[in-house]
Amino acid sequence: MMQQKNIGYYRLIMLNSLGRVVPDTLRGYTSATAYQSKNRILIPEKAVVTKPLFLDSISAIFDEYHISDGMTLSFHHHLRNGDGVLNAVCQEIKTRGIKHLTIAPSSIFPNNAIIVDLIIAGNITNIRTNYINGPAARPIDDGKLQGLLLMDTHGGRARAIESGDLPIDIAILACPTVDRNGNGSGTEGLSACGTLGYAQSDLRYAKKVILVTDTIVDKVKQIDLDGKYVDAIVQIDSIGDPEGIVSGTTKITKDPVGLKIARDAADFLYQAGVIKPGFSMQTGAGGTSLAVAAAVRKMMITKQIHGSFASGGTNGYYTDLLKEGWVDNLYDVQCFDLEAVRSYRDNSHHIAISASKYGNPYEPNPVVNNLSFVALGATEIDLDFNVNVTTDSLGRLIGGSGGHADTAHGADITIITTTLAKARLPIIKEHVTTITTPGEDVDVLVTERGIAINPRRVDLLEKMKNSNLTIMTISELMAISHQISGIPAAIKEPGKVTGLIVYRDGTILDQLYQRF
């Protein structure tokens, strides 16, 4: 419900249904199911290309397509912290002094520090992304970005592109191997990175699409990017550093507190009847999330329960699950390590999905809607179960939704696993600093001192009423954290608006602010 609030004579403030201020020129978030009564909006796909151009440098792209002030350039983030393409394009922008550009990379990592210079000099004035971590976030926090930072979810970015909300002039897509017909593969070549799920919408709807590669072959074995959309191909020495793209295999945490939380989460899921034959799951790929996957797997082995699928970004842990036959299929939108790349290449049950098929609310049956449960993290959670994974408690950018809000909506049960406090600071707040995922989609909070169930889930409260797990209200959990840590002081009032949190349906969930 949209409310207008009068403060004094001078300003009207628009609040969305969660009580957050939103720009009065845009639609504020109403509910997580509001999209169900709306129609899918699709702009026409881009022009098909019979024969792609072969260019010999990043610079040539700028000349050929007249990249100039005010344009929107998009990128995917499958090369993660080893990406060389976004950086090379930024370098070229800097050299040419082009201004007022919007960049729309699906994520921004610490090695994209060059963006700092471009923000300060005004080459880049607007950014639209799903995740931002590292030096590039700092000038945005400090109000140096002349325009706004818009943050989507992975599924929401697909929606934004296909509907024309995010119009892309040039999509510059890194691709490990490309063939003479413009088809791209993610599994061959020096910088193999696996599936290219975040590039699919850009590929179809950008005005022009350029593939940047370091390996050209006659014919790729497996087509991940359909050459018919590709306008040009650029070959450079190296598209990125394999170390940063796929680094080793993430290990399950050894921290005893994290392991206890993971065990309790798995116990909860079992007692709630979620882990039954044919169930499906997604967890994050970090150490603690993997511990949840490990605890669930242990349960699957003990009770001999097989799952239908696991989804997400995949890594060696999940490919083992597939190999050993504990799940029938993996639905993969990005590969985190070499194990995952190999499995995708060799195993027909390791299936690539686009970001749209993964989490676009307007897809007829996105993968997230079929999840039995998802286990996610949080920097903060509040008494309404709203979750923050975008900023820290000082309001500074440390991440972004990624697939958080998508999976939280689609999964039958959304479990947040976290310690009760991080370095003394309680995770449970009265109101989160930034809302990334609305509380109506968040069901359970599991901490080392207790579990809280969202009061909306009367069914879960009923199922778990005789459980031997320590279950209490989220207010009680917050009280415990305050008793241990002390009540944290309030932070200073925020300054000017620096960005917007865009919900997966395009409505505005919250704003980002300059903090001092």
Could you say whether residue 467 binds another protein (CB under 8 A)? yes
State the minimum distance, in angstroms, from the CB of residue 302 to another protein. Answer: 11
Strand, helix or coil at 135?
coil
CA distances from 247 to 194, 336, 346, 419, 509 (A): 13, 8, 20, 26, 34
String of contacts with another protein for each residue 228-257, x by CB under 8 A: --------------------------x-xx
In the list 124, 259, 408, 442, the residue contacting another protein (rule: CB under 8 A) is 259
Say what the alpha-carbon torsion angle 500, 173, 340, 219 is, to the nearest 10 degrees. Answer: 160
> Using CB under 8 A, which of the segments 32-40, 280-288, 319-327, 485-493 binds another protein?
485-493
Q: At CA 90, angle to CA 84 and CA 96, rounded to 5? A: 135
Q: If binding is defined by CB under 8 A, does position 485 make contact with another protein? A: yes
Based on the shown chain and the rule CB under 8 A, indicate whether residue 2 belongs to the binding site for another protein.
no
**Alpha-carbon distances of 34 from 38, 369, 503, rounded to whole Å:** 7, 15, 11
Distance CA 434, CA 515 (A): 12
171 vs 421 by CB, closer to another protein = 421
Residue at 163: amino acid letter: S
| From candidates 7, 66, 468, 493, binder to another protein by CB under 8 A | 468
Using CB under 8 A as the binding rule, the residues of this chain from 357 to 396 that contact another protein are 393-394
Binder of another protein out of 100, 260, 345, 349 (CB under 8 A):
260
Binding of another protein by 472 (CB under 8 A):
no
Nearer to another protein, 244 or 488 (CB): 488
CA distance linking residue 163 with residue 494, whole number of Å: 33
311-314: long-range pairs with CB below 8 Å, 24+: 311/280, 311/281, 311/282, 311/353, 311/358, 311/367, 311/368, 311/371, 312/282, 312/283, 312/284, 312/285, 312/403, 312/407, 313/285, 314/194, 314/285, 314/340, 314/343, 314/344, 314/350
d(CA 478, CA 428): 6
Residue 489 touching another protein (CB under 8 A): yes
Question: Which residues in the 404-463 window bind another protein by CB under 8 A?
Answer: 423-425, 448-449, 463
CA distances from 261 to 63, 218, 417 (A): 55, 51, 7
CB 489 within 8 A of CB 510: no
CB of 271 to another protein, least distance (A): 4
Using CB under 8 A, which of the segments 15-23, 136-144, 218-226, 464-472 binds another protein? Answer: 464-472
- Among the listed residues 131, 205, 229, 270, the single contact to another protein using CB under 8 A: 270
Query: Between residues 96 and 260, which has the closer beta carbon with respect to another protein?
Result: 260
Which residue among 26, 42, 461, 484 contacts another protein (CB under 8 A)? 484
The distance in angstroms from the start CA to the end CA of the chain is: 31
Q: Cβ 499 to another protein, closest distance in Å?
A: 21
- Between 6 and 468, CB nearer to another protein: 468
Q: How far is the CB of 436 from another protein (least distance, A)?
A: 21
Measured between alpha carbons, how far is 243 from 241 in angstroms, rounded to an integer? Answer: 5
* Beta carbon of residue 471, minimum distance to another protein (angstroms, whole number): 12
23 near another protein, judged by CB under 8 A: no
- Considering the complex, state which of residue 306 and residue 424 has its C-beta at the smaller distance from another protein: 424
**How far apart are CB 209 and another protein at their closest, in Å?**
45
142 binds another protein (CB under 8 A): no
Which spans in 304-414 are helix H?
Answer: 316-323, 338-346, 355-359, 404-410
The residues that touch another protein, with contacts defined as CB under 8 A, are 254, 256-257, 259-260, 263, 270-273, 393-394, 423-425, 448-449, 463, 466-468, 484-486, 488-489, 491
